[in-house]
Structure 1
Amino acid sequence: MKKYLAELIGTFILVLFGCGTAVVAGDKVGVLGIAFAFGFGLIAAAYGIGPVSGCHINPAVSLGVFTAGRMGLKDLLGYWVGQFLGGILGAWVVSIIATGLLSGYSIATSGLGQDGWGPGYQAGYGVGAAFVFEFVATFIFLITILGSTQKAAPAGFAGLVIGITLVVIHIFGIRITGVSVNPARSLGPALFVGGQALNQVWLFFAAPFLGALLAGLLFRIRLLDAETEIPVLSSVTTSAPSPFQAEA
């Protein structure tokens, strides 16, 4: 259970720092500030809870790790529960802080850093562009995670590299979708904002999950894995090794 609790706490940190920065200081720090908040929040969580759970803090990451053969189904489901609860709790705390503004704050009008697309959202990209971005960005994110955590990769740097990658993804994509690549990060704010945010949340499940599946499959069939031995498909570990640690 401590692994699942760690995932809850880590996802809470990511949503609190990332979405919280967008809500409280987005107009001051801009795209770069929000991007760094998400990336640095991930790095903080990686080195804080990484030794316990591996700090996936993202259902798409866990799915990619599972597909690559690095964790079992029981842990996948447990991680998902912790991650979605952490995302919801993070958004809830951001809502409490935001609505504490003495001059007033409307969640329905100003939001909670939710993801989206279409007229009136960010630069106004369409659903096709939003889906392609989320799919490709998640695929690249998982390639970075799975590649930097295999045995042949330099030890101790994965958390930093993955956090920097998340910063770059946000710099590119905030104006497109607000950037999800993480269904738990998207669901939390959408539940509190409702309306269009909740109606559009399906894309931030479908595209990241598909991108993660593709990346995980490439490592599972050894097309991107640096190891030379061919794994037995039935020998899937249930110990949920970290994406920030080398494959066991």
Structure 2
Amino acid sequence: MEIRKYLAEAIGTFWLTFAGCGSAVIAAGFPQVGIGLLGVALAFGLTVLTMAYSIGHISGCHLNPAVTVGLAAGGRFPAKDIVPYIVAQVVGAIVASAVLYAIARGAPDFDLAKGFAANGYGDHSPGHYTLLSGLIAEVVLTMMFLFIIMGATHGKAPVGFAPIAIGLGLTLIHLVGIPITNTSVNPARSTGPALFVGGWALAQLWLFWVAPLIGGVLGGILYRWLSEEPAALVTGIPRAPAH
């Protein structure tokens, strides 16, 4: 049933947003034992790795509108399922943010003004990077993420290792991108926290839809052009998990 695919995407995106953003909100700066930038980057990678093995066989484990659109551009996903997948992903991210907010606000020093893991540029970039820097970074990082996904799930790639390559790829992306924009490469993940922060986060949210979607399409098209695509993967959802 199609509904199972959509529910799987919502659950998977819930986990990515809750555990990934949760690591930043709750654990990154915890006194003396905080996990820091490396820990947050690894947490995002682990969410993808664990969900890819859990739901990859159900929905393909996209968890990300940019991945869904990128896979469609690369000939790996049917266009008719793009909208329902994106809706499911955004719903999952919003629910995750609500649960994370309910937990995080229980701390005596919790302050939404600290950002709640929202993505931003300019004054709201961790490193105060400009809009142009954020745009370039998000396009390039998302493009390479799709390139990794397309390659790892190719019919001639080693079987069973795709989730590891994709999860580590997302970890690497966060190691580069956190100082620039807090790393989006995922419009759903960006939307959830932005709805709770409001104000500047909602005003800047457009970038974290536009740039990842452009990057996703570029990555999908680039890999499709570069690689010899087995016919079995050209239609439908790839059997190997994809973030």
Task: Write the letter of the residue equivalent to 1:37.
Answer: A
Alignment RMSD: 1.8
Which AA in structure 1 matches 2:142?
Answer: T
Mapped partners of 2:234, 2:57: distance in 1: 20
Select which of 112, 115, 140 maps to 2:116.
112
Question: Equivalent residue for 1:7?
Answer: 9
Residue number in structure 1 paired with 2:53: 47
Aligned residue for 1:188? 192
- The one-letter code matched in structure 2 to 1:57 is L
Specify the alignment match of 2:28 in structure 1: 26
Deviations 1:103-141 (A, max 9, x none): 24222x122111101125311000000000000000000
CA distance in 2, matches of 1:219, 1:226: 9
Contact 1:72 1:236 in 2 (8 A): no
Aligned ranges for residues 1-248 of structure 1 at < 5 Å? 1-27=3-29, 28-101=34-107, 103-107=108-112, 109-220=113-224, 223-227=225-229, 237=235, 239-242=236-239, 244=241
CA distance in 1, matches of 2:126, 2:97: 20
Give the total of aligned pairs. Answer: 236
Assess if the C-alpha contact under 8 Å between 1:15 and 1:91 holds in 2. yes
Aligned AA (1:212): G
Q: Which runs of 5+ in 2 are unaligned?
A: none
More helix by share: 2
Q: Determine if contact 1:180/1:186 at 8 Å carries over to the other structure.
A: yes
User: Equivalents in 2 of 1:192, 1:83: separation in Å?
Assistant: 17
TM-score, normalised by the number of residues in structure 2: 0.92
Distance in 2 between residues matched to 1:83 and 1:151, nearest whole Å: 26
- Structure 1: gaps of 5 or more residues: none
Which letter maps to 2:237?
A: A
Residue identity matched to 1:11: T
Deviation (angstroms), 1:224? 1.8
**Distance in 2 between the 1:24 and 1:228 partners?**
44
- Aligned partner letter, 1:2: R
* Maintained 8 Å contact 1:91/1:188: yes
State the distance in 2 between where 1:236 and 1:147 align.
Answer: 13
SS at match of 1:37: helix
CA–CA distance in 2 between the matches of 1:128 and 1:208? 14
